[in-house]
Each structure stands twice: as C-alpha cells, then as structure tokens.
Amino acid sequence: MNDTKSATLYRMILPDHVCPFGVRAKAMLEDAGFSVEDHILRSREEVDAFKAEQGVATTPQVFIDGERIGGSDDLGRFLATQG
C-alpha cells in the first residue's frame, strides 16, 4: 500500500523575485509529509499564462489528489483540518 502523500505546487521564481508564499507553501507541504512535485514559473509570461489557464488570481497554487487547494493561506487551512 502506498501511503505517500503527494502534492503538486506551482510557484513563481523570477530572476529578480522569489515568491515568499511559494516558499512557505512548499515548506508547509514537506512538513506535513507530502512529496512535492514542484513546478517553477520562471517568467511573468509563464505566471500570467498559468493564472489564466487555471482561472486564479495568485500564485502559488497547490493541488492535492488532482484537487486545487489554493494558495498558501488556503493550504494552511486545509492542513489544519487534516490533523
């Protein structure tokens, strides 16, 4: 039985800016025992395309079991209910 929890994270790391919320989301997932499939959005164009495709206003975005959890604040609330 595979009980490894996995999550997919889309976060922004631009040449001049690392999104602190993405760093926070990754740390929270790892602390909760998730293996993280980390997708880095490396340009403003990639970020804008991702947000348009997903219909979201912000990054990071976390997906667990194919379900969009949301950003780092949403993730915090989600993890609080898993305990």
pLDDT at position 4 is 80
Q: Which domains does the chain have, with CATH numbers?
A: 5-80 (3.40.30.10)
Residues in the chain: 83
Q: pLDDT tens for residues 17-70?
A: 999 999 999 999 999 999 999 999 999 999 999 999 999 999 999 999 999 999
Q: Which helix (H) or strand (E) holds 79?
A: helix 72-80
Q: Which among 57, 53, 59 has a CA at the least distance from the CA of 40?
A: 59
Strand partners, 6: 35
